[in-house]
Amino acid sequence: MSTQDTQFFDTFTLVIGGLVAVAVVIFIISLFAGSSSQREAQMVDEAYQAALLERISPIGRVRLPGDAPDDSDATESVEAATPVATLMSGPQVYNAACVACHGPGIGGAPMTGDLDAWSPRLAQGLDTLKRHAIEGYQGEQGYMPPKGGRVDLADDEILAAVDFMVEESS
């Protein structure tokens, strides 16, 4: 690289750097000069305030069943939905929850169909077996979580699954 090229690049860099510095100074001066007058104009301008309130207003409302409508709300009130109670059958609950442990016998769970594993449990009585299924049980061979870990299931569904497993293991 020749000295002439080096001198050109040095001069070019100096000129660009100077222009950037001047632009930054002008930008800072404009911020200070315009910020106070712009803020004051916005605070008293009614059109600006109305536009601001419109931009930050909620786009809708959440109303729960049974809530009374507001005066500003022209829609009807929402009626409470009637829940549809569909209980799963014993085999359905078994396949959805119980088979994970009682199928392969994980964690000391008696395998479905294994009469030898179920006999000591059935000897305690069906009521005890059902209570352990709902409340959970810590035994010598393992741990049964309440409702098999599926606390979203109804007690009747768990009881139906227990009846199914007992029938399959007898």
What is the per-residue pLDDT across 26-60, written as a single tens digit (0 to 9) for each?
A: 999 888 877 767 767 667 788 888 888 888 988 87
Provide the residue ranges of all domains of the chain, joining segments of one domain with +.
3-56, 90-169
Cα(106)–Cα(132) distance, integer angstroms: 17
At residue 76, does pLDDT exceed 60? Answer: no
Burial of 32: CB neighbours in 10 Å, binned 0-12, 13-18, 19+: exposed
Where does 90-169 sit in CATH, by number?
1.10.760.10
Q: Check if the beta carbon of residue 79 is closer than 8 Å to that of residue 67.
A: no
Write the pLDDT tens digit of every residue in 94-150: 898 888 888 888 888 888 888 888 888 888 888 988 898 899 888 787 888 898 888
Q: Determine how many CB atoms are found less than 10 A away from the CB of residue 153.
A: 19
CB of 166 within 8 A of CB of 118? yes
